[in-house]
């Protein structure tokens, strides 16, 4: 017996990634696809890689009969998400992939997003969607807010270490490299092939990237006291994948042991043996996370490297994983696809 | 109840692609993985993108107990394949992915490969693995020879047209663009990133590429008389995907209708509406083929464009599809993964 | 003593390529840079790769004192070009890089561009800028119209052959692969890195691409009778470079000899030895053209492959070459930069 | 009057880059090109992008008449360089591009390269080739040792800051992203297009990369006391370019001012305005360095980002710049080519 799924914002990359994953999911069935500006079109016109699938036509959100839907994935842009979700039936299961409900503190939201939150009640209800650290809350939740893809990558490297107190929380630097699909299907000059390929650049330098709001929130919660890290994302000429290189002060062996233990039973988190380096090519198109640990030549310092696919484990794969829990399904259902290499 | 599978040549790209596909196949189970030079290693060391899987260690071929195996995929290099398969038990089901058994005529083999065939009996037994055109023979076969990936792409565009007699068989030009993974994991200078990226080049120009042996064989068989085409492959800076642009003389409407009819019931071949162009991005990582047809401004001429993923439908996906038939399974089992885009 | 140069449309890729070439030109000096929407900005803000240069600020076209200018490069979009050039002083030397003045026949212009020409007098005056075939006219010209980059590539392969009558003009197929910079800095979805990389696609299929107007015009003129070719451009994941694979009927030896002789004294056209294949990587960033010839296995057929950089020899390098002639300078001045590889 | 130049190791990427730069150098002339394994070949066969040039044939080193040579560029692999240079005439001007003579301390050499130095006298004579910091020594030198490309990038960001004492030398982290050409034309699996494209990975993690020997040497010298930094290089899917993201403790304004002053008169080092980020695309193919500075949200911390082209300013361009000084030429001769973008 399958669950009826609606996807709002189906014409973007995370929407398409949801369709890809659900297309071989054993117990989910796509009942509705909404994309306002492309309403009336076939999904196969918008994304020709879905031409082989039989899918409902794209509609406007208001045309969807939400009574016939078991769970909604909301893959809408920031701010739009708040407005739309406020209007959805209050008993509907929802997984939001936008940035709108990630920050629990309204003041933090306003600080990072530059405006007051329009739906503080919902913000309060939303469970932060980092599955491995909020599993029980997610199982019981009606409404889950997906994490930022950069935040997820850094948090997988750091959360067990901060919880276990094995690193100095005052001295954390995350240098992150991300593929371009994380920026979405937006028509921006720096996302053109001719501008991006053969290049590498930092952006959001100096602590201005919004995902820092999530880092602050989750690392402070884990530490039990305020934690502020340094974080610099870089855009590299690849489509998928995030590599976070995390510089910490602590004992490398202890760090490796802590991560290994923390993730020993996790189906999607692979702690590599000491001295093995993750690469984004090794997780592309999959829900897996690879984490490696190295001691530095300077005693008491270590480097933790984490890699995941921003569209899968960093957003849509995570969303399906959370939906599985919310629907009482096997957590890994539909998510065991191996990475695509080469 | 699952079929025990052995893969010979598991450390190459087609071997890895077989593992990827079988890892989510409902009724196949990997019983043995052979890779002579890497015997003793874990597959996860050779291909870190498989670290999440529990797989048998890599062994030498002679260490495999073939009595415990239902079907062997042989992903070995040209010439090695002949030698190895000659030694395998005569009742074992085999799908070969090399070039060794594609040409039925020993003289044609010697012409294109420069040496006499070492196993002419097996050559005679082998069924050409272009599933959609040899389905019944494959269902009944013990031994199937996978097609060349370039040949498959061109043949999907042409075979129904030649069979139906709707194009001039004396005037066929195939201009083909292929990603680099078709060349395998070989250490060759022109396959280095620094040499290939930002470039495009033709190779095997003027009718010297070995896949012409397959084109000649299959198109002549379909036509009932000798057919010789022109064929120029090009290497482009992409990892996966083949795009064949085929110039033919014939009526575009009739051509489109013929292809549409021929593939109407095929699960993996999508004939696009007239005037729609395939792109390799739309089939990447999948077993699907996209075919488009355009009339030329010059009456009586048309362009047929076909796209497939060389590692999936062009080799390992095709191999699994054929194995499904040989094992009495659903033909599409394990092969419905949607393409990976972006 | 240096020539004062103005560039109209300096914020696009061809404008930037002009600045790059002129920055090391011995006798040209940039006197004015116009870019309407970016007027007031420094060129180093629009194109940070020019931060090391001292350049005039971007202005509006009407702010330029054309009396203080010796030659204008007009790198404006199609249609805008007509309007702007009509208003320029009638004695000013102009090299236009747009498509507006390439077609001599007003009817042909209207057919390919869908509207009547707004400046038929200028259209009549314009010399077609394929330097090697219009050298004397260009030396004497006030107004030169740069060629299409695709057209240039194909014409370099074909013009000497059509002039010499060594190929069948009724049976010419050009299959062309082009990098993305030819499409300009336009914000279009299919030009995004995430859409284009790892893909290959045909466009303008079936004889609809506007550069066919140029092919028709120049090949018919060379043949002395109407010639219509087949032409399919493809977009590949590279920034610069065009590779044209041209299928012709004729004797390969004779074809090679004809090209070799035609280009023997040309400073920028390199006819490779028989059986050598050009690659776009070998001409990237330079004004050189590489041409190779191969016999086909089918007697009486040959393949000619030509490669050039669309932004250099295909537009801005060609423009500088023509300006050199118009200004009485050495034809190769500023254009001998070696290709950038890797 | 031009200087006769010999290049040893002309068949590698740095050798080719030397030829590219010298091909438009006003006062250098290539008198000899050596490449042992390719002796007897034309340079245009080894590197078809040089087909337009008239160059001496490749020879063996021992065939070169060094009396007819004014300066030798030695672009040989590590260790080979020591052996070859030991045998060259003692009065010959030499610029070495290998790693063999960068470390002044024999013990440091042995530590990082795993074997004793074979030519300690020469090692002692060699001047470290970071032009902006050793200009006078280089002008007077007979023998200059080119820097590591990663080391150069980091040192441009750091040396003025360490000299001025405006950062904490105990807390420096360099996270560096490099294109693949820095690894040379070596046939290694991880350098294949199919392995590298669409990926990002760290290597030499934890303080094991040999360029740390140079960082230690130069930063300690500048500080007047031992300095040990943290340094992690990453391989990204691009051919050229290094981006170093440097995390320091110090006041951002003071840091920016210090860099701006230090490089105010430098022809190749561009200090960007505060809050501007360098990108490798902006220096590709050129001898320029771009440096940007950002304050971090955490007071007293800053991020310095530096970008250069590893083959130009990181090796062959630097070598020509040093050779210009050694030969009494204009320092910028042949090096003012603008970057290639897109």
pLDDT in the model for residue D133 = 98
For all residues of chain A together, what is the average pLDDT?
A: 97
Q: How confident is the model at residue C284 (pLDDT cuts 50, 70, 90)?
A: very high
User: Could you give the CA distance from residue D68 to residue D31 in angstroms, rounded to a whole number?
Assistant: 8
Q: Give the residue extent of every domain in chain B.
A: 3-146+313-326, 149-310
Q: Is D189 on the interface with B (CB under 8 A)?
A: yes
**Cross-sheet strand order for the sheet of A230-235:** A201-202, A230-235, A173-178, A242-249, A301-308, A289-295, A269-271
Residue B5 predicted with pLDDT over 90: yes
Backbone phi and psi for residue B171, each to the nearest 5 degrees, phi listed first:
-135, 60
* Helical segments of chain D, H only: 13-22, 43-46, 80-86, 106-113, 120-125, 131-140, 149-164, 193-196, 211-223, 252-262, 317-326
Backbone phi and psi for residue A8, each to the nearest 5 degrees, phi listed first:
-100, 125
Q: In Å, how far are B140, C103, C111, C215, C259 from C108, measured between CA atoms? A: 60, 7, 5, 12, 29
Q: How confident is the model at residue B17 (pLDDT cuts 50, 70, 90)?
A: very high
Sign of CA dihedral C191, A113, A317, A33: negative
Task: Enter the CATH code of domain A3-147+313-326.
Answer: 3.40.50.720
User: Could you give the CA distance from residue C212 to residue C173 in angstroms, rounded to a whole number?
Assistant: 12
DSSP class of residue A63? G
pLDDT, average across residues C207-236:
97
Residue C199: name the closest of C251, C235, C154, C253 by CA: C235
pLDDT, average across residues B313-323:
98
User: Could you give the CA distance from residue B126 to residue B117 in angstroms, rounded to a whole number?
Assistant: 13
Residue B338: name the closest of B319, B315, B317 by CA: B317
Task: Name the active-site residue from A149, A174, A248, A293.
Answer: A149
Smallest CA–CA distance from A45 into chain B, residue? B276
pLDDT in the model for residue C28 = 98
Residue A133: name the closest of A217, A244, A207 by CA: A217
pLDDT in the model for residue B138 = 98
Which residues of chain B lie closer than 8 angstroms to C197, CB-CB?
238
- Minimum distance, in Å, between the CA of residue B278 and any CA atom of chain A: 8
Residue C1 predicted with pLDDT over 80: no
What is the value of ipTM here, to two decimals? 0.97
Residue B320: name the closest of B306, B339, B334 by CA: B334
| Digit-coded pLDDT (tens) for B25-76 | 999 999 999 999 999 999 999 999 999 999 999 999 999 999 999 999 999 9
Cβ(A20)–Cβ(A45) below 8 Å? no
Residue B315: name the closest of B86, B145, B146 by CA: B146
Which residues of chain D lie closer than 8 angstroms to B191, CB-CB?
192-194
Interface-testing mutation among B194, B240, B310, with chain D (most D C-beta atoms within 10 A): B194
Task: Name the active-site residue from B149, B166, B255, B325.
Answer: B149
User: Could you give the CA distance from residue C318 to residue C132 in angstroms, rounded to a whole number?
Assistant: 10
Which residues of chain A lie closer than 8 angstroms to D278, CB-CB?
201
pLDDT, average across residues C101-127:
95
A149 by Cβ neighbours in 10 Å (0-12 / 13-18 / 19+) ranks as buried
Q: Which two tokens stand for residue C13?
A: 């890729």
pLDDT in the model for residue D100 = 96
Smallest CA–CA distance from B241 into chain D, residue? D194
* Helical segments of chain B, H only: 13-22, 43-46, 80-86, 106-113, 120-125, 131-140, 149-164, 193-196, 211-223, 252-262, 317-326
What number of other Cβ atoms are within 10 A of residue C266's Cβ?
Answer: 15
Q: Is B149 a catalytic residue?
A: yes
Rounded average pLDDT per 10-residue block, chain D, 342 residues: 94 98 98 96 97 98 97 95 95 97 96 94 96 98 98 98 98 98 93 94 95 98 98 97 98 98 98 97 98 98 98 98 98 98 96
Residue B1 predicted with pLDDT over 80: no
Residue D112 neighbours by CB under 8 Å, 6+ apart: D103, D210, D212, D213
Which residues of chain C lie closer than 8 angstroms to A193, CB-CB?
180, 191-193, 195-197, 237, 239
Angle between helices C211-223 and C149-164 (to 10 degrees): 20
pLDDT, average across residues C109-128:
94
pLDDT, average across residues B199-204:
94
Residue A1 predicted with pLDDT over 90: no
pLDDT in the model for residue B60 = 98
Backbone phi and psi for residue C201, each to the nearest 5 degrees, phi listed first:
-150, 150
Q: Is C26 on the interface with D (CB under 8 A)?
A: no
pLDDT in the model for residue D130 = 98
User: Could you give the CA distance from residue B240 to residue B237 in angstroms, rounded to a whole number?
Assistant: 9
**Cross-sheet strand order for the sheet of B242-249:** B201-202, B230-235, B173-178, B242-249, B301-308, B289-295, B269-271
Phi-psi region of C139 (alpha: psi -120 to 50; beta: other; left: phi over 0): alpha
Does the reported pTM lie above 0.90?
Answer: yes
User: Could you give the CA distance from residue A12 to residue A27 in angstroms, rounded to a whole number?
Assistant: 23
Q: Is A198 on the interface with B (CB under 8 A)?
A: yes
At the topology level, CATH places domain C149-310 in Dihydrodipicolinate Reductase; domain 2 (3.30.360)
Q: In Å, how far are B67, B144, B147, B323, C115 from B140, measured between CA atoms? A: 20, 10, 18, 11, 62
- Minimum distance, in Å, between the CA of residue A89 and any CA atom of chain C: 34
| Digit-coded pLDDT (tens) for B208-234 | 999 999 999 999 999 999 999 999 999
pLDDT, average across residues C221-238:
98
Query: Strands, E, within chain A: which ranges?
Result: 3-8, 28-34, 58-59, 71-74, 93-96, 127-128, 143-145, 173-178, 201-202, 230-235, 242-249, 269-271, 289-295, 301-308
Q: How confident is the model at residue B126 (pLDDT cuts 50, 70, 90)?
A: very high
Residue A215 predicted with pLDDT over 80: yes
Q: Which of C185, C187, C239 sits opposite A198 (nearest CB)?
A: C239
At the topology level, CATH places domain B3-146+313-326 in Rossmann fold (3.40.50)
What SS3 class is residue B45? helix
Residue A163: name the closest of A112, A215, A223, A205 by CA: A223
pLDDT in the model for residue D259 = 98
Interface-testing mutation among A169, A175, A310, with chain D (most D C-beta atoms within 10 A): A175
Residue B331 predicted with pLDDT over 80: yes
Torsion angle in degrees (nearest 10) through CA of C160, C162, C166, C169: 150
| Digit-coded pLDDT (tens) for A141-172 | 999 999 999 999 999 999 999 999 999 999 99
| Digit-coded pLDDT (tens) for A15-35 | 999 999 999 999 999 999 999
- Minimum distance, in Å, between the CA of residue C122 and any CA atom of chain B: 30
Cβ(D86)–Cβ(D119) below 8 Å? yes
Residue B187: name the closest of D193, A279, A282 by CA: D193
Q: C151 pairs with which residues across the strands?
A: none
pLDDT in the model for residue C325 = 98
pLDDT in the model for residue A246 = 98
The overall longest dimension of chain A from CA atoms, in Å, is: 62
Q: What would you report as the CA-atom Rg of chain B, rounded to the nearest whole angstrom?
A: 19
Percent of chain B surpassing pLDDT 90: 98
DSSP A180-196: GGGG-S---GGGBHHHH
Q: Which of A199, A243, A295 sits opposite D200 (nearest CB)?
A: A243
- Asked if C290 lies within 8 A of D336 by C-beta distance, the reply is no
């Amino acid at each position: 017996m399958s669950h009826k799924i609606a996807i709002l914002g189906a014409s973007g990359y995370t929407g398409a990634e949801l369709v890809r994953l659900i297309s071989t999911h054993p117990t989910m069935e796509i009942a509705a696809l909404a994309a306002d500006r492309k309403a009336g079109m076939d999904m196969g016109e918008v994304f020709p890689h879905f031409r082989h699938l039989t899918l409902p036509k794209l509609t406007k959100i208001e045309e969807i009969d939400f009574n016939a839907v078991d769970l909604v994935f909301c893959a809408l842009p920031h701010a739009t998400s708040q407005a739309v979700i406020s209007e959805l039936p209050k008993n509907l299961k929802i997984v939001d992939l936008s940035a709108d409900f990630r920050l629990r503190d309204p003041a933090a939201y306003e600080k990072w997003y530059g405006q007051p939150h329009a739906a503080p009640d919902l913000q309060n209800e939303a469970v932060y969607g980092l599955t491995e650290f909020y599993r029980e809350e997610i199982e019981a939740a009606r409404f889950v807010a997906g994490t930022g893809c950069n935040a997820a990558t850094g948090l997988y490297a750091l959360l067990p270490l901060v919880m276990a107190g094995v690193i100095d929380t005052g001295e954390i630097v995350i240098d992150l490299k991300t593929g371009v699909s994380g920026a979405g299907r937006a028509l921006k000059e720096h996302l053109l092939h001719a501008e991006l390929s053969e290049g590498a650049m930092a952006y959001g330098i100096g602590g201005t990237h919004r995902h820092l709001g999530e880092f602050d929130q989750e690392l402070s919660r884990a530490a039990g006291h305020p934690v502020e890290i340094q974080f610099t994302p870089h855009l590299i000429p690849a489509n998928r994948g995030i590599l976070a290189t995390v510089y910490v002060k602590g004992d490398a062996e202890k760090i490796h042991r802590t991560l290994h233990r923390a993730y020993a039973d996790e189906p999607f988190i692979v702690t590599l043996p000491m001295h093995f380096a993750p690469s984004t090519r090794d997780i592309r198109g999959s829900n897996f996370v690879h984490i490696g640990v190295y001691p530095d030549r300077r005693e008491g310092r270590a480097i933790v490297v984490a890699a995941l696919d921003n569209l899968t484990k960093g957003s849509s794969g995570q969303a399906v994983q959370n939906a599985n829990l919310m629907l009482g399904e096997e957590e890994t259902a539909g998510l065991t696809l191996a990475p695509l290499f080469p």
